[in-house]
Structure 1
Amino acid sequence: MTNAPIILTLDCDMYSNDPQTPHRMLCYFHDSEIRSKLGYIQFPQRFHGLNKNDIYACELKRLFICNPVGMDGFAGPNHVGTGCFFSRRVFFGGPSSFVTPEIPGLSPAHMVDKPIHAQSVLALAHHVADCMYENETNWGSKLGFRYGSLVEDYYTGYRLQCEGWKSVFCHPKRPAFLGDVPITLIDVLSQNKRWSVGLLEVAFSKYSPVTFGARAMGLVMGLCYAHTGFWPIWSIPITIYGFLPQLALLNGVSIFPKVSDTWFFVYAFLFIGAYVQDCLDYIFTQGTFQRWWSDQRMWLIRGVTSYLFGLIEFVSKCLGIATHGFNVTSKVVDDEQGKRYDQGTFEFGVHSPMFVSLAAASIINLIAFIRGIIGVFRGWNLEGLFVQMFISGFVVLNCWPVYEAMVLRSDKGRMPTKTTMVSIFVAWALYAVASLMLKL
């Protein structure tokens, strides 16, 4: 609630790290060539306290740096919820519209032109502070910050750009703002699950980026927002690749082309090409190979945990089935947890259904990889099973922190015994079902 012509949004755990930030921002807002349509200026979200290899991939370079740089060449970056300066004008309609203020007492510029201590202004402030003030108005749907999604930042920036507003990505060498990161895996995955549900709420609404967005902003910008909005759908192919080839391998069934087959080279080219490009993109944004490895590992982990459970929760909500309420990401630092995080050790510690799916995938891939090696020595056709063994081995390599937490560790951050036992049962059940289906 402010009468300022420019509004800064920040998360409660972030602070200013550069006194030159307002000056940089004002340079854009006073540029006569762009100011008429400039809605907001987005600074990248940066963090302090990251451990050496950023084991939970909290930097999110693609979301906060790579993608905004590309979008900046079109209509501008999306809003990421913090480190953003808004022109007050954007909350009252498009650049060319002149909307009559829905709150009495505002000037045509949507600001109060009386002293801040005036009784009428104080009365208006009390009116706006009332949680019912937006009833039967366009606030939250067509004006102001947009409601109706757990990712109100993504939704608000997206709708503002659909109205014709442009944005600017300002990325100085010195971070403008710094914030905290979650230091436990359950907090990271819970945060990502909440984002997944919110993104799907927008992606499958009447304002979907592939329909409404593409018409309002153009195909390219529509696809940019769709790329983020449909993130959780990645859970489907990742989960399939995390279980199906391995279950087939356990039963000695080949489902991929042989090494001598021409199609094998297509698979190899797509895999190697995608990973090399992904690695180069990450390193070219001042990343390191170790942090890239953490990033791609967490992408796989999110695929069988937060993305998958977020997709399930969204479908459940659409079917009218009760789901968990909103949860705030904990960033409280426990001394022991903080020490393990600084050492690069994954923090489990609590039982969670998301850990069950992760541990079950780890167990099935490990057993499938060992079974494949034994099978080769017993005369199995390695040429036909090579791709499945490679996928299993790649997952095993990524899941080393999970095996370590289940077997080798004794600290409070290890995988709970209950989770391990449930995961073993789930892995056995999946194997039994797969074996039965193959026999049929």
Structure 2
Amino acid sequence: MGARARQQGGSAIQATSTGGHPSLHTVKPLGRTLFNRVFAAIYALSILALLFYHAKTLFYSPALVSFSVTLALLISDLVLAFFWKTSAFCGVRARRSDWFPQHIIYESMKVKVERVLERGEVDDENITSGQEREAFNKWADSFTRQDHPAVIQVLLDASKDRDIAGYSMPNLIYVSREKNKASPHHFKAGALNALLRVSSNMTNAPIILTLDCDFCSNDPQTLLRAMCYLCDPAIRSTLAYVQFPQIYRGINKNDIYCGEFKRLFVINTMGMDGVEGPNYVGTGCFFHRRSFFGSPSSLISPEIPELSPDHVVDKPIQSQSVLALAHQVADCNYENQTDWGSKIGFRYGSLVEDYYTGFRLQCEGWKSILCNPERPAFFGHVPINLADALNQQKRWSIGLLEVAFSKHSPATFGVRSKGILMGLGYAQLAFWAIWSIPITTYAFLPQLALLNQVSIFPKVSESWFFLYAFLFLGAYGQDCLDFVLAGGSVQRWWNDQRFWHIRGVTCYLFGSIEFFLKFLGISASGFTVTSKAVDAEQSKRYEQGIFEFGVHSPMFVTLTMAAIINLISFSQGLGEVFRGNDLEGLFMQMFISGFAVVNCWPIYEAIALRNDNGKMPIKTTIMATLLAGALYMAASFIFKPLGISNGGFAVTNEVVDDEQGKRYDQGNFEF
């Protein structure tokens, strides 16, 4: 995927915007844009040839099993073609832009928090000011995380508080919205809307930064960089937000869990930036407050004037009327019979409120910009064990599918609203979880066919073999090139593609299943927050690049099944080679199995070679082995009784004579 990158440069290059105002940023095409376009055209023709081959084979399949195998491969390749196409569309307009522009306190706070956690309550010795006492007086023993009133406390008042040099301190206000088990709280989107309303009433600043609790600032120039776009007269009237990439600290050298999400947060995001702007990724984003209240040309007025983006705050933030209204708009039932969550504010309807909100804003006519400086603007933390990483991405998969199959689906509503480029760019993310179809198919079907000596791909001597080889090498080559040009290493790219395969048979698969169960009204597991807490031994293994299993999970069962099936099929194929059998028709299946075995090495290591607490649980291994055996027997039952030969892709259980072969070559049916 091509990109429009914003990188910190040396000298500033100014341009003149419309209206005679000096532009605060410039854009220019990236050098690899032409290559992306030429390669995309060639690759698209190759995909069409592959689909023609599948269709022809499907049409002439003489047996049900060969028809079913071909159909499964066709569906898988159609999904792969869809994702490649949506990625390629984002690369046709790649461009680059440039802009012009307390440790002691922390340790004290840390000790205080640890003591409170040990005792289970906040006692008098931990309360050091009247403001703190006022805040804690509102809490009672009966309050829980899901049932408590609104708490709004002014910690710093810009009109009164000064630093040691005498300069005014910024306003700092603690907000905890009211929660009640009888009222839906809409998770993070609901919390952000409560903050949006409270801040509208108390300060109503025109620029808003959203930042997750596990992120921190890394560059004091970040605000100035964002303002170069937000204040540019050429674009500010339609600019909704400036998105900074999610960058993480604490990732081990080779990023074994693909924690930096370079394709999701950098490569694909920069590609969308070259069209009409990147998607909102939930953190590190500066918004124009106005963008939450209707399209650029049509303001949607909120239910009370104090919440309007044009409202001028003319009262002290600690005045009784301001605080009373702040508590009112933080009430758990305030949004009833209002446009909040549907037409105003952050949008409800998906677990991935960030993606959905950014998508809806762009469909309303707003644009966005990616700012990608060399020095990361913010640093975050990622899960460093496999179970947490997969659970996080399973939640994302469910939320994205909620958007994909809604009335606002990017494939339909998005294409109509924003055109095919942006529509398909968002669709690629929305249908993220259906990667599970081709990945799971290619993780099991060729291997089970190989175990039964059934060839389902062209022979090495056939011309169609070279089409498969080009599609594989072309896709992997471009992916590696994009990854390295985006600042990654080859080793990290290898781990990235490995984890893509892992996700396909785990979180993508289970996320899809859970979504469709939910769609059918069948109860599934609820929302879980990803843990970032780790113990010392787990952290040590992560730094050494060792996969962390440790606990039983259904997702580990399917992953281990795939590892076992691939190892056995590859071993059997090698055995046939050593016995001197001609396996020309099975070469591609052996290659796929061998490629999977190399990628599955950490799993084999966790099953057989490790004794630490992060090894694969015995329960998982036993369950996966039994299920893999059952799958093999089922495949044998399907393949072997039919007597399918391994002579080529179009398999048959009949002995073919010369006349019959001649009629087949002429395209005539044989009855």
Q: CA deviation at 1:115?
A: 2.9
Structural mapping, 1:55-74, within 5 Å = 55-74=256-275
1:284-326, CA deviations, whole angstroms, 9 ceiling, x for partnerless residues?
1111010000000000000000000000000000010000000
1:146-192, CA deviations, whole angstroms, 9 ceiling, x for partnerless residues?
11111000000000000011111001110000011110000110011
* Partner residue in 1 for 2:25: none
Which residue of the other structure, out of 390, 399, 402, is the alignment partner of 2:591? 390
Q: CA deviation at 1:124?
A: 1.7
* Partner residue in 2 for 1:7: 208
Which residue of the other structure, out of 111, 117, 125, is the alignment partner of 2:318? 117
* Partner secondary structure for residue 46 of structure 1: coil
Instruction: State the distance in 1 between where 2:438 and 2:242 align.
Output: 35
Instruction: State the distance in 2 between where 1:183 and 1:378 align.
Output: 44
Instruction: State the distance in 1 between where 2:314 and 2:225 align.
Output: 27
Aligned pair 1:272/2:272, yes or no? Answer: no
Instruction: State the distance in 2 between where 1:277 and 1:48 align.
Output: 27
* Partner residue in 2 for 1:97: 298
Identity of aligned residues (%): 69
* Partner residue in 2 for 1:327: 528
Aligned pair 1:424/2:625, yes or no? Answer: yes
* Partner secondary structure for residue 85 of structure 1: strand
* Partner residue in 2 for 1:204: 405
Instruction: State the distance in 2 between where 1:103 and 1:261 align.
Output: 72
Q: Which has the larger radius of gyration?
A: 2
Q: Is the 8 A contact 1:41 1:168 kept in 2?
A: yes
Q: Is the 8 A contact 1:4 1:111 kept in 2?
A: no
Q: CA deviation at 1:247?
A: 0.4
Aligned pair 1:344/2:344, yes or no? Answer: no
Which residue of the other structure, out of 346, 368, 376, is the alignment partner of 2:577? 376
Aligned pair 1:79/2:267, yes or no? Answer: no
Instruction: State the distance in 1 between where 2:368 and 2:355 align.
Output: 13
Q: Is the 8 A contact 1:37 1:164 kept in 2?
A: yes
TM-score normalized by the length of structure 2 = 0.65
Structural mapping, 1:149-298, within 5 Å = 149-298=350-499
Q: CA deviation at 1:131?
A: 1.6
* Partner residue in 1 for 2:161: none
Q: Number of aligned pairs?
A: 440
Which residue of the other structure, out of 206, 221, 235, is the alignment partner of 1:34? 235
Instruction: State the distance in 2 between where 1:132 and 1:112 align.
Output: 25
Instruction: State the distance in 2 between where 1:184 and 1:112 align.
Output: 47
Structural mapping, 1:13-24, within 5 Å = 13-24=214-225
Q: CA RMSD in A?
A: 1.1
* Partner secondary structure for residue 86 of structure 1: strand
Which residue of the other structure, out of 210, 232, 249, is the alignment partner of 1:48? 249
* Partner secondary structure for residue 299 of structure 2: coil
Moved more, 184-193 or 380-389: 380-389
Aligned pair 1:353/2:554, yes or no? Answer: yes
Q: CA deviation at 1:381?
A: 2.7
Q: Is the 8 A contact 1:101 1:108 kept in 2?
A: no
Q: Is the 8 A contact 1:359 1:423 kept in 2?
A: yes
Instruction: State the distance in 2 between where 1:221 and 1:358 align.
Output: 34
Q: Is the 8 A contact 2:397 2:433 kept in 1?
A: yes
* Partner residue in 1 for 2:605: 404
* Partner residue in 1 for 2:503: 302
- What stretches of structure 1 of length at least 5 have no aligned partner? none
* Partner secondary structure for residue 241 of structure 2: strand
Moved more, 1-10 or 199-208: 1-10
Instruction: State the distance in 1 between where 2:309 and 2:418 align.
Output: 27
- What stretches of structure 2 of length at least 5 have no aligned partner? 1-194, 643-671
* Partner secondary structure for residue 218 of structure 1: helix
* Partner secondary structure for residue 148 of structure 1: coil
Q: CA deviation at 1:328?
A: 0.6
Q: CA deviation at 1:379?
A: 4.3
Q: Higher RCO, 1 or 2 (CA under 8 Å, sep at least 6)?
A: 1
Instruction: State the distance in 1 between where 2:220 and 2:579 align.
Output: 68
* Partner residue in 2 for 1:145: 346
1:242-276, CA deviations, whole angstroms, 9 ceiling, x for partnerless residues?
00000010111111100001110110000011001
Q: Is the 8 A contact 1:149 1:199 kept in 2?
A: yes
Paired AA for residue 358 in structure 2: G
1:174-232, CA deviations, whole angstroms, 9 ceiling, x for partnerless residues?
00000111100001100110000000000110000011111111110001000111111
Moved more, 12-21 or 70-79: 70-79
Paired AA for residue 333 in structure 1: V
Instruction: State the distance in 2 between where 1:428 and 1:322 align.
Output: 30
Q: CA deviation at 1:113?
A: 4.2
* Partner secondary structure for residue 41 of structure 1: strand
Moved more, 10-19 or 64-73: 64-73
Cα 1:366–1:86 shift into 2, 3 Å: same
